[in-house]
Structures are given as structure tokens and as C-alpha cells.
Amino acid sequence: MGNICKKCVSDKSIISLKLDKNGICQFCKIHEEMEKEYPLNENSFSNLLKICEKIKLDGKKKKYDCIVGVSGGKDSSYLLYLVKKKLNLRPLAVHYDNGFDSDASVSNILKVCEKLDIDLETKVADWEKFKSITKAFFKAGVSDPDTPTDVGIFKTMYEIAYKENINYVFNGHSFRTEGIEPLDWTYMDGLYVKDINKKFGEGNLKNFDNFVLSDLIKYNFLRGIKTILPLNYIKYEEKEVIETLQKNFDWVNYGGHHYESLLTKFVVSYYLPNKFGIDRRRTGLSALVRSGQIQRSKALEILERPPILNDENELKNYILDKLDLNGDEFDKIMKMQNRNFRNFQTYYKYFKHFKIFANLFYKLGVIPKILYLRYFGDKT
């Protein structure tokens, strides 16, 4: 059957890759399901506006009617612009500062919020605790040491939404440009964080912004806070987005996908390729191929060249110094057995027994379809 999907560029670096008899992977099929959910046609934007009318009605007597998580990256920056200027909502921008923001990302956040007249609330992570947990993820030898950041972002947005009595959290993910990240590459789960901290960390998680099952019940089921993905309703192309941001906000391009975070820049451009043979550009390029924004041959040509990292040694030394990891410790990490979430305690083993309930929650709008499909839509 081969080692690479015949439609996109997903390959066997994804351990869970499944190719059907025609050589098509499960991620292409998830994309097809998402296209059915969010078709791009003359009604797409009108459908988004209808959702926003309900959001405006629900937030009529509140200072803010939605939360928008911001990182300084192009997706979240453009999302702020879309929400305020095109959808006429009253967002509160929320940023999670994990101590690894690049200068460009901080500048972008401030400029976009100021020019759009949007209030910004920043949650600064407890540095010593965040450092300890992130260091533990590296010492565990897993492929997603930026998971503590993702968990912290998620918890912070819902925590602030709950505090401000806001029922809608906007996410800047687009399945047509970002794709579906394989679970074997990146996995987010509060129990996963707990187990890695228990085995490789120091101390408890008291001061860490973890997101556990009780949070899901509190925020999503009891309060009914919903996640909205507006970029799925519009034609979203990188070149036009960057031109819009630079023209309106003097937005600074930071040089690579997710490079707005120095930690993630290090993970995707150095740690993953060298330790796991993982190139996370593959998911985004696959998405662009599926949505017709790039030719498959062009995507393969791009992947033949490693991620650009002009400041490799400087960045590596910076990250290790921040995490209090010496060279010998890091060399040991790079040589140790590769692991991922399947080697630890997680909620995943429970999730797979509750597919029928997850499907119901998706249909009720409690969880986004992309999340449901990421966990349960991997069958060919």
C-alpha cells in the first residue's frame, strides 16, 4: 500500500497512519467530513453571521460577548480582526504567557489589540511550576513537550470566560490550512500532564493551569461554554491574511508556522525532526493540498528541505538555559526511547468507550466536530 497517502502528504512518520485500498489516509476522510460540516458557498458567511446574532443576543447586557485567545500568530491576529471588524462582536482578547513569547509575538498582540480597541487580559504562568512541568515532558522523551502550553491556554480561556460570564470562546483553527494533528504527535489531556509530572517532575501541580475532567464538566456541560471556529466559514488563505495584517496593523511575520513561541519553534524545527523524524509542517501542507491551495508535488518539494532555522545553536542554548537543562541531560533525552501519550495514564482509554456520548455532545454543540473527529474519526 505504500508509506504515504496518495492524496495528501501524510506518511508513516505518523505511527497511526491508516491507508485504505485506494491509498487514501484517514485524515483526508476527516477533511471530507469537515467539508460537509463547513461547506464554502454563498451561504457560508451568512451562516456565521447567524451564529454571531445569537452570540450578540446572549451577551447583550455584558461588557464582552466572546473570548478570543491570542498568541501574536497570524491565525489569532486575523481572528481578532474578523471578530471585531467583520462580525461586529465585542471580544475580550486573552493571552497565556508561558515565558517563551518572542518579541514579534508580543508586539503583534499589542498592536492588533490597540488598533482594534480590544481589551487584553494576560495570564502569566507560574514560571517555576511551568518550567518544571515542561522540563518533565522533555525528560519523559515524548513528542509533545509543548502540551503544557496548550493545556494552559485552554484552561485560561475557559477560566476567564467563566469568570466574565461569557458563553463563547473563539478558536483560530482552520481545518483547511492547519489540518488535523495526529494524536501520536500532539495530545492534550490533564491526566497525561499529571502522570508525566508524577514520574518526571518535581512537586505537585497546585500552581499549574491544568485542565482536567472536572473542568470539562464545569465549563462545557454545566455552564455551556461553546467553542466557535469562524475561520472554517470563510475563504482563508495565508498570503491574503498576512497582507491584511501587515497593511492594517504593521504586523510582523516571525518566520515560520508557530514560530511566535520560541519553545514551539524549538520543538518543531529541532527537537521533533532530530529525535522523532517528525516534520509538523506535514499536517499543514496536507491540509493545503486537500483544500486546493497548493499542489501535492509542491508540498513534497517543500518537505524535502528541513525547516529553516538560522539561529539553531542560539535557540537551543536559550531553551536549555531557560529550562535548566545542561547539554549532557539533553543529549540523554535525544538518545532515549521515543515515547508519546500512549505510554502514560490519560483519559483516552476512557474516551474510546464513550463514543456515543461524544457524538451526542458534538451534535449538541458542546464540543467542536474537529475535536470529535480527531479522537474518534481515525478509522478508514
212/153 Cα distance (integer angstroms): 13
107/270 Cα distance (integer angstroms): 25
What's residue 379's pLDDT?
46
- DSSP secondary structure of 66-124: EEEE--SSHHHHHHHHIIIIIS---EEEEEEE-S-B-HHHHHHHHHHHHHHT--EEEEE
Set of cell numbers at residue 213 = 475532567
Mean pLDDT for back-to-back runs of 10 residues, the chain (380 residues): 88 94 95 93 95 95 96 94 97 97 94 97 96 97 96 96 96 92 93 96 92 90 91 92 94 79 94 96 96 96 88 94 96 97 90 70 72 67
Q: Give me the residue spans of the domains in the chain.
A: 40-256+338-346, 347-380
What's residue 339's pLDDT?
96
The domain at 40-256+338-346 falls in which architecture? Answer: 3-Layer(aba) Sandwich (3.40)
- In the chain, which residue ranges form alpha helices assigned H by DSSP? 26-37, 44-58, 74-81, 103-116, 127-140, 147-163, 190-200, 213-215, 238-249, 262-266, 272-275, 281-290, 296-303, 312-322, 327-335, 348-351, 355-363, 369-376
Q: What letter represents residue 23's amino acid? A: G
283/131 Cα distance (integer angstroms): 28
SS3 for 213? helix
**Region of residue 142 (phi > 0: left; psi between -120 and 50: alpha; otherwise: beta):** beta
Residue 121, exposed/middle/buried by CB under 10 A (0-12, 13-18, 19+)?
A: middle
SS3 for 356? helix
Q: Cα 365 to chain center, whole Å?
A: 19
SS3 for 226? strand
Structural contact between residues 262 and 315, judged by C-beta atoms closer than 8 angstroms:
yes
Residue 80, exposed/middle/buried by CB under 10 A (0-12, 13-18, 19+)?
A: buried
Structural contact between residues 177 and 284, judged by C-beta atoms closer than 8 angstroms:
yes
Set of cell numbers at residue 25 = 489516509
SS3 for 184? coil
What's residue 1's pLDDT?
47
SS3 for 250? coil
Which residue reads 470563510 in cell numbers?
234
- 23, 28, 30, 31: CA torsion to nearest 10: -160
Residues 6 or more apart whose Cβ sits within 8 Å of residue 190: 151, 210, 211, 212, 213, 215, 347
What's 268's DSSP letter? I
Residue 27, exposed/middle/buried by CB under 10 A (0-12, 13-18, 19+)?
A: buried
Beta bridge partner(s), residue 168: 226
What's residue 310's pLDDT?
81
